[in-house]
Structure formats: C-alpha cells, structure tokens
C-alpha cells in the first residue's frame, strides 16, 4: 500500500508506542485525517509506522466508501461504534465486536457510513480464533461489585477483552493491572482519581499501574487487560 502520509507531509514518526507511559486521549476533540482510501478517515491513537505495524485508531467510512482487499498478517480487532460496517463476508451493525485472526484477508466497505474502533497487528501468533459478537443481543453477567455488569468478548492467555457496564454511582476497589489496561469509553463518563473521561476517550494504563475507578453518571467501556 502506498505511503500517502509521507507524500502529504504528515508526521510518519511512531505515536504513543512507549507502553510504559500512561495515555489519555479525548478522540472527539481530534480532527479526522485522510487515509490511503478515498472516503475513509481516521484518528490515530497509537501507531508503529505510517502505514504498517501496530496501530490503534478510530476510523470513519463515508457512505459508499470502501478499502481495497488486504491481508492482516498479525490480526485485526474491530468494535463498530456507529452505523453498519461491511465486507464480502457479512454486515456488522453498531455494537459488533470482530476479531479477524492473523492471515485474514477481506475487502471492507460501508454503504451508509460507519465509525469503528480498530486495533491492527497486535495478535499473538497462536491466537487464531475468529470472533464476531453482536453485543446488542449478547448476555451481560454480574460484575465483582454491585452496579457492575460484564460481557466477556475474548480471552487468550493473559489477554482479556470485555464490555463493562457501570450503573450510576458505582465504585470499584483500588487495584493493579500486572499486564496493563486499555479502555475505550463507549457511553457516559468513566472516572478515576486521575481524571474524568467522557464517551470517546481512549485510555492506556501501563503494566502494574494502579487506580480507583468509579462513575457518577454511569458508563459503558470496552476494556482490554493483560496485553501490555
């Protein structure tokens, strides 16, 4: 794929790749940047290289846009935030969680427009499970404290991904994440002793970080732990 970022004068340096550092980004305040595909836009959160390697981003497809067929050598993880995402295999409405394992090839498109949270090239080579979950219809399970419910999405060795729903006024106990924690706030406002994080915020807490999470108004978050 052609490196259009370099041609257009965009910064091609690594972005937020030091995972020993805590990062908090309000993506709603970011501007959309062009991708190599016409009508496909992105907000870069972490990036190893201009158009290759490990990437975390929010991606927007305009109505009628598409991306050329391509392979993900180290996997692709997607959560559909808005609209309906598509490829030659299926249609994925808002709330769908997708894992395409290493070696997967597809040609994504979007008839009516959509937004996605996307992570690329981060799978363990042995993690070959394809996952597609409609979280709008999947079951919620009780959490570890009152007011908390959890929807497990995927686990492999120390890596665990889930949706966590917090009722208003819920507080969790102080705890440490030996393998780090990554959060994308889907709705409401998530909080801890270090700040307040409205919908659209991306957080990355490094290995062995410790915090006291809570919410006053309630929230739903996409959480990944044990992968850093």
Number of Cβ within a 10 Å radius of residue 38: 11
Q: 15 and 44 share a domain?
A: yes
- Two tokens, residue 136: 């709008």
Q: What is the pLDDT of residues 108-128, one digit of tens each?
A: 999 999 999 999 999 999 999
Q: What pTM value is reported for the model? A: 0.92
Quick check: is 38 in a domain? yes
The helix or strand, by DSSP H or E, that contains position 189, with its residue range, turns out to be strand 181-192
In the predicted model, what is the mean pLDDT of residues 210-215? 96
Alpha-carbon torsion angle 5, 47, 95, 65, nearest 10: 10
Report how many domains make up the chain.
Answer: 2
The answer on 191 and 124 residing in a single domain is: no
Task: Please tell me the distance from the alpha carbon of residue 114 to that of residue 93, in angstroms, as a whole number.
Answer: 9
Residues 155 and 110 in one domain: no
1 pLDDT more than 70: no
Report the SS3 class of residue 5. Answer: helix
**What is the domain extent for residue 164?**
141-225
Residue with tokens 């850093």: 228
Q: What is the mean pLDDT of residues 155-181?
A: 96
pLDDT computed for residue 10 by the predictor: 54
Domain boundary among 134, 166, 182: 134
Taking 90 as the threshold, does the pLDDT of residue 26 lie above it? yes
* pLDDT tens-digit map of 53-66: 799 999 999 999 99
* Per-residue pLDDT band at 3 (split at 50, 70, 90): very low
Same-domain check for residues 88 and 153: no
Co-location of 119 and 190 in the same domain: no
- Coil/strand/helix, residue 136: coil
Distance of CA 105 to the CA centre of its chain: 20
Q: Is residue 121 part of a domain?
A: yes
> Which CATH number covers residue 106?
2.60.120.10
pLDDT at 5 over 80: no
- Indicate whether 118 and 33 sit together in one domain: yes
What pLDDT is stored for residue 11 in this prediction?
A: 61
| CA 50/CA 5 separation, integer angstroms | 6
Residues 217 and 153 reside in one and the same domain: yes
Q: How confident is the model at residue 18 (pLDDT cuts 50, 70, 90)?
A: very high
Task: Please compute the mean of the pLDDT values over residues 100-107 and round it to a whole number.
Answer: 92
With a pLDDT cut of 90, the percent of the chain lying above it is 87
Q: End of a domain among 103, 134, 165? A: 134
Q: Read off the tokens for 145.
A: 């404290």
Same domain, 145 and 83: no
171 alpha carbon, distance to own chain's centre? 24
- CB–CB of 87/65 below 8 Å? no
Q: Does residue 100 lie in a domain region?
A: yes
Can you read off the two tokens belonging to residue 104?
């997967």
Q: What is the average pLDDT value for the chain, to the nearest integer?
A: 92
> Looking at the structure, do residues 72 and 91 belong to the same domain, yes or no?
yes
Q: Please check whether residues 125 and 35 belong to one and the same domain.
A: yes
In which residue are the tokens 């030659």 written? 88
Chosen domain end from 134, 159, 185: 134
In this prediction, residues 202-223 reach a mean pLDDT of 97
Query: What percentage of the chain reaches a pLDDT higher than 70?
Result: 94
pLDDT value of residue 13: 83
* Dist CA 177 CA 181 (whole Å): 6
């Amino acid at each position: 794929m052609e490196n259009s970022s370099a041609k257009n004068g965009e910064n091609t340096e690594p972005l937020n790749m030091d995972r020993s550092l805590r990062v908090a980004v309000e993506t709603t305040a970011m501007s959309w940047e062009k991708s190599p595909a016409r009508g496909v836009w992105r907000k870069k959160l972490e990036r190893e290289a201009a158009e290759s390697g490990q990437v975390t981003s929010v991606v927007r497809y305009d109505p009628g846009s598409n991306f050329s067929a391509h392979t993900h050598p180290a996997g692709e993880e997607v959560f559909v935030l808005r609209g309906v995402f598509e490829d030659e295999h299926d249609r994925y409405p808002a709330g769908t969680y997708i894992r395409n394992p290493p070696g997967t090839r597809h040609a994504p498109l979007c008839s009516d427009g959509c937004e996605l949270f996307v992570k690329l090239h981060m799978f363990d080579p042995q993690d070959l499970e394809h996952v597609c979950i409609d979280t709008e219809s999947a079951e919620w399970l009780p959490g570890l404290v009152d007011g908390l419910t959890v929807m497990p999405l995927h686990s492999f060795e120390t890596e665990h991904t889930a949706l966590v729903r917090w009722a208003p006024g819920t507080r969790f106990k102080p705890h440490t994440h030996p393998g780090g924690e990554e959060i994308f706030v889907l709705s409401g406002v998530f909080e801890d002793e270090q700040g307040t994080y409205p919908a659209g915020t991306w957080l990355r807490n490094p290995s062995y970080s410790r915090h006291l999470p809570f919410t006053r108004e309630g929230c739903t978050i996409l959480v990944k732990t044990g992968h850093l």
